[in-house]
Amino acid sequence: MSHPVSPLAQPFPEVPAIAGVTPHVVRAGYKDWGRCDLTYVTFTEGTAVAGVFTKNLCCSSEVEIGRENVKRGTARALVVNAGNSNAFTGYRGREAVEQIMDQVAGNLGCAREDVFVSSTGVIGVPLPKDKAREGVEKAFSAAPCTWEEAANTIATTDTFAKGASATAMIGDTKVTLGAIIKGSGMIAPDMATMLGYIFTDAAVEPAFLQECLSAANLRSFSCITVDSDTSTSDTVLAFATGKAGNAPLVTAQSPGADAFAAAIQDVCRQLAHLVVRDGEGANKFIAVSVTGAVSDESARKVGMAIANSPLVKTAIAGEDANWGRVVMAVGKAGEPANRDTLSIGFGGTWAAKEGLPLADYDEAPVAAHLKGQDVTIEVDLGLGEGQATVWTCDLTHGYISINADYRS
């Protein structure tokens, strides 16, 4: 965390303890930094797991193995290494992950496939097996830590610790969700472009947990972008211990399933927003709201084309209501759009409607809106009922400074 704290940072929220989940942090020394960099979370027996992973075709061994093992639906532990992504390291990278899985499985007396491993940091350097072994060994006897400590430990270039929580009623039983996430650059959609972990005491069958997570992902992590670049390691995992004692959620028809799905959606949305708020160099949090598209997915794609446009993002950085650049971005999205039915606004004030600049366009409220930290761009395509909101940040000198100086 060597960069200045994002002006959009938010304080770490109250994230409650989750029954059946115990986090620990230790210092493995993956990098020459004076901080913990290995996070070890254990789960009681019977914990369900679900996950979404990067679609990047050059993904890490962690992603390959996790994607396979999440299908079994059970978990006993999570290990997160920070400072080394272990990506693009061939068989040596895979060996390091398997060593960690075996070591933890031996300690807990569980199947190796119940141990989930993530790594984040520099690409192309195999995770040092000796450091991993010593770190994991230390973790076995480490005292439990707070969620904020865990959030700080999974972080790399993040400038603030990120967490979220929610509750839901399942029948008469209150279930609790707590979550942490890391990520600030190499953030693009197409799934979950960062490392995020959601923990709950709810009793949920793995298949339904996956259904909830996948649905929430579509309207949260798949709707954010910082720089259009998709990491090779991105992972979001959800763990459900069942310790709340609710009647297990099996399908969307189970009593309380809606409330739980809404809570996981709420947590994912919170986490996704926090990642954007820590976007490299970000000074403004931008919501792009697209309506009138031929479908929700089409609206999302148009929104992402706007959110990924360097010219739109620099215009917002310059507090310039340059709606012409928004028109350009709509047109390049490749989705159905008609210049003559297109309307564009900022902060709730239309600048152009149905293909024409508004004759009585009052720029004053728009100029005032753009000076704020939270900016909205409204686009109505005038074609159908599809809608979506996506989130991004502005593109500033800070992004260049961070990424032209970062050493591989």
Q: Active-site residue numbers? A: 193
Nearer to a second copy, 255 or 318 (CB): 318
In the block, which residue shows the tokens 């954010």?
A: 224
Burial status of residue 219 (CB atoms within 10 A of its CB: 0-12, 13-18, 19 or more): middle
Q: Among 176, 231, 246, 349, which residue sits at the site for a second copy (rule: CB under 8 A)?
A: 231
Please give the Cα distance from 91 to 271 (Å, whole number): 33
Nearer to a second copy, 9 or 328 (CB): 328
Nearer to a second copy, 92 or 371 (CB): 92
In the block, which residue shows the tokens 């799905």?
A: 261
Kind of pairing between the strands at 386-393 and 224-225? parallel
Tokens representing 67 are 């994607």
In the block, which residue shows the tokens 């450091």?
A: 131
Kind of pairing between the strands at 173-182 and 115-122? unpaired
Q: How many CA atoms lie within 13 A of 262 on its CB side?
A: 8
Give the count of residues interacting with a second copy (CB under 8 A).
69
308, 228 in Cβ contact below 8 A?
A: yes
360 binds a second copy (CB under 8 A): no
Q: Among 86, 222, 232, 291, which residue sits at the site for a second copy (rule: CB under 8 A)?
A: 232
Kind of pairing between the strands at 285-293 and 374-380? parallel
Nearer to a second copy, 364 or 404 (CB): 404
- Positions 80 through 99 that interact with a second copy (CB under 8 A): 85, 87-90, 92
Say if residue 403 carries a ligand binding annotation: yes
What is the SS3 assignment for 260? helix
341, 383 in Cβ contact below 8 A?
A: yes
- Positions 310 through 349 that interact with a second copy (CB under 8 A): 310-311, 314-315, 317-318, 320-325, 327-334, 336-340, 342
Q: Per CB under 8 A, which region of 8-16, 157-165, 184-192, 252-260 contacts a second copy?
A: 184-192
Write out the binding residues for substrate: 156, 182, 193, 280, 403, 408
Instruction: Summarize as ranges the residues that interact with a second copy (CB under 8 A).
Output: 55-59, 85, 87-90, 92, 122-125, 185-186, 188, 190, 227-232, 308-311, 314-315, 317-318, 320-325, 327-334, 336-340, 342, 352, 355-357, 395-397, 399-401, 403-408
